[in-house]
Amino acid sequence: MKTNEKEQRIKHMGKGFTLLEMVIVLGIIGLIIGGAIGVMGKVGEGAAVQRVKGDFNSLGSVLKMYKINNGFYPSTAQGLKALVTRPSGAPAPKSWTALADRVPIDPWGQEYVYRFPGSKVATEFELVTRGKDGQIGTEDDISSQE
C-alpha cells in the first residue's frame, strides 16, 4: 500500500500547469502591473509639482540673497543666469558673487522662466515652469505668484 501512495505522489508531482492556466496567470499579472504603472504615473506628476514648489523656495532664497548683495533683483533680461555669471546689462550689480553653479531646470527638462517685476505682484520676482507640455501660457504652467 505504501508503494502505491509513493507512485501516486510521483505521478502527481510530474503533473504541471496547463498552457491555459499559465496564460490566465500571466494575464492577471499583466493587469496588476498595468494598474500599478497607471497609479505610479499619477504619483510621479504629484512629485514633479512638489519638486517645482521646492525649487521655487530654493530659488527664492537665492534671489533674495542677490537682492541683499546688490540692492535689487536681476531684471527679466538678466534672468536666472545672473545667479551664475555676472550680468553685463543694466542694472549693473554692485557686489556680485556667483550664488549658483548652474541655471536650474524643472522636472520636465526646461529652464524656469524668470520675471521681474512679476505679473501679479510687481514688487516681487516671479518664477514660472512651462509644465509638462513645455509651452508657456498653458494651463499646466505653475507660477510662484499663485
**81-122: pLDDT as tens digits:** 999 999 988 999 988 999 999 998 999 999 999 999 999 999
pLDDT beyond 60 at 13: no
* pLDDT score, position 58: 93
The distance in angstroms from the start CA to the end CA of the chain is: 82
pLDDT digits (tens, 9 = 90+) for 20-40: 888 888 888 878 887 777 666
What is the pLDDT averaged over residues 113-132?
94
Q: 47: pLDDT confidence band, cut at 50, 70 and 90?
A: confident
| DSSP secondary structure, 45-113, as one string | HHHHHHHHHHHHHHHHHHHHHHHHHHSSPPPTTTGGGGGTS---SSSPPSS-----SS--B-TTS-BPE
Evaluate whether 94 touches 70 at the Cβ level (below 8 Å): yes
pLDDT beyond 80 at 45: no
Question: Which of 118, 140, 146 lies closest to 48 in space, CA to CA?
Answer: 140
Q: How far are the Cα atoms of 4, 9, 135 from residue 115, in angstroms, in the given order?
A: 86, 77, 16
CATH number attached to the domain at 25-143: 3.30.700.10
What is the pLDDT averaged over residues 46-62?
91
Backbone angles phi, psi at 114, to 5 degrees: -115, 135
3-class secondary-structure state, position 140: coil
- ∠ CA 125-131-132, nearest 5°, is 165
